[in-house]
Amino acid sequence: MRIAGRKVTVRSVAIYAIVIAVTLIMLMPFAWMLSASLKLSRDVFAFPIEWIPSEPQWQNYVDIWTKIPLALFIYNTSKLTIIVTLLQLLTSSFAAYAFAKLNFPYKNTLFLGYIATIAMPWQVYMVPQFLLMREFGLNNTHLALICLQAFTAFGVFLMRQFYMSIPTELCEAARIDGMNEYQIWARIMLPLSKPALSTLTIFTFVTTWNDFLGPMIYLTKTELKTVQIGLRMFISQYSAEYGLIMAASVVALIPVLVVFLSLQRFFVEGIASTGLKG
């Protein structure tokens, strides 16, 4: 069969059908969450599911701001996420440039040792980190989370792989023109690495925004808590108010969607290009 000059096979139709089916299955929970956020609590689990509520309860999106200090939680999460994301972009790209384009003793050994920490679960060194932050007097502060998450081996690996695909001749020509390493990094490497930076931004933003265990360990004061801890507190206080819980969850999801949709055109390009040269 041909459609608009292209041959369509049974295999391609089957692949597209499977992809569409899997996509719909993955989107179904989010659709249910959005639908439930506009219902009364007694109607959330009604069967059959009323995907489009006949009487949308927009008041749920008003009540969630007064039931708990949701605005404060979102502010705290935004502050932590933005600071951590910017720091990871800075430290990862800076270290990756050294590992990719500079020559120094034991470079490959140091890189492999640093990257090997990715295989170590955070739960292994969670307690030593907590004791260290407590000794520094950073317990119950946002600075503890910022210091612990400002560096990432995954980010260094991602950026290093991308930098390896950039011709070294560009750096050598810049050195001949009198640029130092800092200028080469800032004026040549960073502008060329927008896809990798966008990919790292998405990963870091989503991970930090959705982090639950870290803030749970280090933050006990209500005025310091993040939105994920706030949602947990909301569920504890209003366990039967499912409509309000879903509305708060939708609000917490919006920033992640905005960041991803804003950077999605660089995302695939960044993923595809980071493994071209090792």
In this structure, of 89-93, 240-244, 256-260, the range with the lowest mean pLDDT score is 240-244
106 sits in the region (left: phi over 0; alpha: psi -120 to 50; else beta) called left
Q: Which of 60, 47, 51 is closest to 30 using CA atoms?
A: 51
Give 81's pLDDT tier (boundaries 50, 70, 90): very high
Task: State how beta strands 6-7 and 2-3 pair.
Answer: antiparallel
Contacts (Cβ under 8 Å, ≥6 apart) of 37: 60, 61, 243, 246, 247, 249, 250
Q: In this predicted model, which residue has the larger pLDDT, 18 or 231?
A: 18
CB 80 within 8 A of CB 214: no
81, two tokens = 């996420």
> Is residue 256 classed exposed, middle or buried when 0-12, 13-18 and 19+ CB atoms within 10 A define those classes?
middle
CB 96 within 8 A of CB 189: no
Tens of pLDDT, residues 92-116:
999 999 898 888 888 889 888 888 8
Tens of pLDDT, residues 186-237:
888 888 888 888 888 988 999 999 888 888 888 888 888 898 888 888 777 7
pLDDT of residue 268: 64
> In the chain, what is the straight-line distance between the N-terminal and C-terminal CA atoms, in Å?
43
pTM, two decimals, is 0.83
CA distances in angstroms from 245 to 23, 174, 212, listed in the order given: 25, 55, 17
State mean pLDDT over 42-46: 78
pLDDT of residue 190: 87
Q: Which helix (H) or strand (E) element contains residue 7? A: strand 6-7
236, two tokens = 């504890």
